[in-house]
């Protein structure tokens, strides 16, 4: 950890009146919760696409690309891990 990050963490903890260890533990819990929400969002998106495709056939590539872009902008997709059509 760089000294700048360490100082930022210490300042944030002090501002909240918490020990650094407690502040870091809360930050880790928040990060884990956010990761779980993002994973649930990705799973829901995959499920919706699969349901649509089972009824209507594969999404057109243009629609698939727009979905990828939306999910990346929403923070639900960090890199291009969207499944292939079909």
Tell me the three state secondary structure of residue 40: helix
Tell me what pLDDT residue 73 has: 87
Cα of first residue to Cα of last residue in the chain, in angstroms, is 44
- 83 and 46 in contact (C-beta within 8 Å)? yes
pTM passes above 0.75: no
Closest Cα to residue 20, out of 32, 12, 30? 12
Tell me what pLDDT residue 80 has: 56
Q: What pLDDT tens digit does each residue of the chain (86 aa) get?
A: 899 999 999 999 999 999 999 999 999 999 999 989 888 888 888 898 889 899 999 989 998 889 888 888 887 777 655 555 55
The rounded distance, in Å, linking the Cα atoms of 85 and 29 is: 35
Closest Cα to residue 70, out of 60, 82, 59? 82
Tell me what pLDDT residue 76 has: 73
């Amino acid at each position: 950890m760089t000294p700048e990050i360490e100082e930022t963490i210490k300042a944030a903890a002090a501002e909240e009146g918490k020990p650094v260890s407690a502040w870091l533990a809360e930050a880790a819990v928040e990060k884990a919760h956010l990761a779980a929400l993002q994973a649930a969002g990705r799973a829901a998106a995959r499920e919706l696409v699969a349901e649509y495709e089972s009824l209507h056939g594969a999404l057109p590539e243009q629609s698939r690309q727009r979905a990828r872009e939306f999910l990346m902008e929403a923070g639900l997709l960090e890199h291009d891990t969207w499944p292939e059509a079909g």
